[in-house]
């Protein structure tokens, strides 16, 4: 529990030092059991539609997490609420050669996985408030040992 508190405090400190080129928000998963009915929403403003952006999912879990991947559905609502889109993603979390692919601290692992390719560009079409909704699509419901989930949006090139 002490490690989790330290990790959350560190995340808050890092988020408080961000610039206008970045949005990142991570929310706790109640009881570390991600039910398919729990679909966190993230709303942020885009002011510059002329620059490319990169989108990431942030996921934190314990070393006892039972899978080497995470299936997600990501819904996006545009500022005028007329455009709704959704896509499914399989996010790799581990492999046989390296084990967990994210960064770890004690028994907690964090993955920041790009949803947009490094070579590709993603542009927001309109300025305004966008809402992203994240839904887990795993067979296990609730998904055990899942601690946090979030969204990161940054201008391409402003980097990690």
- From residue 54, alpha-carbon distances to 82, 127, 160 in Å are 23, 16, 11
pLDDT at 1: 54
Tally of structural domains, the chain: 1
pLDDT at 155: 87
CATH of the domain at 47: 2.60.120.380
The pLDDT value given to residue 2: 52
Domain hosting residue 98, numbered range: 2-155
Q: What is the pLDDT of residue 158?
A: 54
DSSP code of residue 29: P
160 within a domain of the structure (yes/no): no
Low-confidence ranges of the chain (pLDDT < 70): 1-21, 82-83, 119-120, 157-160
Which residue in this structure is represented by tokens 């949006």? Answer: 153
């Amino acid at each position: 529990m002490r490690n989790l508190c330290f990790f959350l405090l560190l995340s808050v400190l890092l988020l408080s030092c961000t610039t206008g080129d970045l949005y990142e928000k991570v929310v706790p998963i109640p009881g570390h059991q991600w039910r398919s009915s729990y679909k966190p929403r993230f709303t942020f403003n885009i002011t510059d539609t002329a620059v490319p952006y990169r989108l990431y999912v942030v996921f934190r879990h314990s070393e006892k997490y039972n899978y080497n991947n995470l299936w997600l559905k990501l819904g996006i609502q545009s500022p005028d609420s007329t455009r709704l889109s959704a896509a499914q993603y399989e996010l790799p979390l581990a492999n046989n050669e390296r084990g967990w692919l994210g960064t770890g601290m004690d028994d907690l692992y964090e993955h920041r996985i790009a949803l947009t390719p490094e070579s590709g560009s993603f542009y927001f079409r309109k300025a305004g408030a966008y809402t992203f909704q994240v839904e887990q699509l795993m067979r296990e419901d609730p998904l055990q040992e899942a601690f946090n989930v979030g969204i990161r949006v940054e201008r391409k090139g402003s980097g990690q």
